[in-house]
Amino acid sequence: MAETAWSDTKSFRRSARRSDLPAALLAARRPRGPAAHAPAQPKRHHRTVFISDTHPGTRGCKAEMLADFLARNAVPYRWYSSDEPAGQRLLAAAGADGRNLPVLITVDGDALVQPSQGEVATRVGLSTIPERDFYDLIVIGAGPAGLSKRELEVARLVVAGRTNQQIAGQLFLSVRTVDGHLARLYTHLGVHSRTEAALIALQHHLTSIR
């Protein structure tokens, strides 16, 4: 079977008028140039589609989280608004009423309504089961556990029993800024209190890292 490449957006949208979704997705691809004679490539080279009522660039929305997950895992995708005709045709072809969004459509034509990251990972071929007991981890652009240098300093002072007022005075910060660092520290460590944060910091030797 010859390799196919995505055609332009208009061709894709015309193909989406068909009632059979897999056929609509397949029809959106056509041989183009030398690629028409190349060996077939894995399905992840073709795009997943998702439809939402908000732009994936809108901070905090489900569409943003879905787009971010796909992008971080190098899964090519195409986004359509549920308000535009192409998005509505895709929803109809998938048998979705558009009331529960986002809807993700795989290259095989499977429609996932408000999918979790685990569901998306399984359907697009990402591994969700560790193959080894231990992995090396590299955190780029931050300290251990994803903490910044300032958050590490706050963690050390929390372990030492300092209050937010005392931490602010020692680091020459406002109390409000310390509150923000502490909130991010809780998020990174997955805890909800100073005591839990101090315990995790000690267990992972965060206070000894400079």
pLDDT by position in tens, the chain (length 210):
433 333 344 444 444 444 445 555 444 444 444 444 444 433 333 578 888 888 877 777 888 888 888 888 888 888 999 999 988 988 888 888 888 899 999 888 888 999 998 899 988 888 878 788 887 765 545 555 567 788 888 988 999 999 999 999 999 989 999 998 898 888 888 888 899 888 888 887 777 655
Among 46, 169, 155, 154, which Cα is nearest to 109's? 46
CA triplet 93, 99, 105: central angle to 5 degrees?
A: 40
**pLDDT of res. 203:** 80
Domain ranges in the chain with CATH number 3.40.30: 5-123
Task: Write the pLDDT tens digit of every residue in 100-147.
Answer: 899 999 888 888 999 998 899 988 888 878 788 887 765 545 555 567
Return the CATH number of the domain spanning residue range 144-208.
1.10.10.10
**pLDDT of res. 145:** 56
Q: How far apart are CA 143 and CA 132, in angstroms?
A: 25
Domain ranges in the chain with CATH number 1.10.10.10: 144-208
Q: What is the DSSP string of the chain?
A: ----EE--HHHHHHHTTSS-HHHHHHHTEE--GGGGGSPP--GGGSPEEEEESS-TTSTTSHHHHHHHHHHHTT--EEEEETTSHHHHHHHHHHT--SSS--EEE-TT--EEES--HHHHHHHTT---S-SSS-------SSSGGG--HHHHHHHHHHHTT--HHHHHHHHT--HHHHHHHHHHHHHHHT-SSHHHHHHHHHHTTGGG--
Contact 24, 17 (CB under 8 A): yes
Architecture of domain 5-123: 3-Layer(aba) Sandwich (3.40)
**pLDDT of res. 139:** 55
**pLDDT of res. 143:** 56
pTM: 0.45
**pLDDT of res. 144:** 56
Residue with tokens 């267990």: 203
